[in-house]
Amino acid sequence: MFMKSCFSKPLLSFLGSLLVVAGLAWAAMAVDVVFSGDALAQTRGAVPGNVQGSANDSDMWRRLRRGEGFVISDPRTGTVVAIQSSGEEWRAFRNGPLSTYGGWLLAVSALAIGAFYVLMGRLNIDGGPTGRWLPRFTNAERVIHWYVAATFIMLAVSGLTILFGKQVLMPLIGQKAFSVVASAFLQGHNLFGPLFIVGIVAMFIIYLKDNFLKAADIKWLMMGGLFSKSHPPSWKFNFGEKAWFWLAVITGAILSVSGIILDFPSLLGERSQLQLALLFHAGAAVIVIAAAIAHIYLGTIGVEGALEGMTAGRVDENWAKQHHDLWAEEVMAEQATTEDGPAHPPANAGPQPAPGE
């Protein structure tokens, strides 16, 4: 009686219908799972775990390594591949040949300077300083030189830390301290990079007129340059200094263009192009730093009297005759003309009085 009162015939019919519908739905889902391709693949034992569907591990990894496209969550990252095989190749080259040969190049440069000092010693002024000075660099030339030098040194130190820090610096100071130093140097590198571009362009414009190749430069080179026992002829800059100028300009241009690309990666659409830009950037940097080691040595302690040219803007007369004789003769001739006055009256001076008048 109680069951009949609580469950009327319409209610029982309704509940029965729900059970039938639920049973049919469950049966349909079961049939779909059993007879679907994924379930068949799993039951055949190709890929357990219901993770990759009908694709087995080997096929999946082959597709990944070939760089085939996959659907990813955010295609704005510039690629739709899950693994970029060329990126692994780039990293292997960056941490392998680039770092290895770059490190050897820097080491060879430093060892060559040491050997030069042992064999040649400091190149002193023949006959000693005279106390008579010749103007060598203008204020503008000196300012732009020290501006480029300062930014270059900051970029060189930070760049070498980024390139070699893991192998050289991190074992000495630890991973935690290195992460702080590397992060700071990276930010500083990005900050001073655009400032260096301004300097290298200004340096090119100001120094270009005196850095074209002349016949005397070839003679200077054939006579052995700094290794010659005599004094090879030279204008304001010798062959070695002109080679350094053009190397600095060319590598500076490569560093500038690649640096802008790395600072603003949206300028290039492909990640592989950014990787190529970084290789050019690091390669050019190592080359110019290796050459800069020699330039800094010769301009400071290697050659007596050379530094005064960039600090005071003038050089001793004997130094000028010893290292840049053709330029020294030209400057001394101009000074003599200025002190003694013109040998002939100006063309527009008019009639000249006769002697005794």
The pLDDT of residue 89 is 82
For 334-347, the pLDDT digits (tens) are: 888 876 655 444 44
Cβ–Cβ < 8 Å for 108, 118: no
Q: What angle do CA 322, 325, 330 make, to 5 degrees?
A: 145
Give the CA count within 13 Å in the CB-facing half-sphere of 28.
6
> Domains in the chain, ordered, with CATH?
85-337 (1.20.950.20)
Q: Which residues pair with 81 in a beta bridge?
A: 69
For 34-48, the pLDDT digits (tens) are: 344 444 444 444 444
CA–centroid distance for 279 within its chain:
8
For 175-233, the pLDDT digits (tens) are: 999 999 999 999 999 999 999 999 999 999 999 999 999 999 999 999 998 888 888 99
The pLDDT of residue 42 is 42
For 57-77, the pLDDT digits (tens) are: 677 677 766 666 665 554 554
> pTM higher than 0.75, yes or no?
no
Query: Quick one: DSSP state of residue 168?
Result: H
Give the CA count within 13 Å in the CB-facing half-sphere of 261.
20
The pLDDT of residue 281 is 95
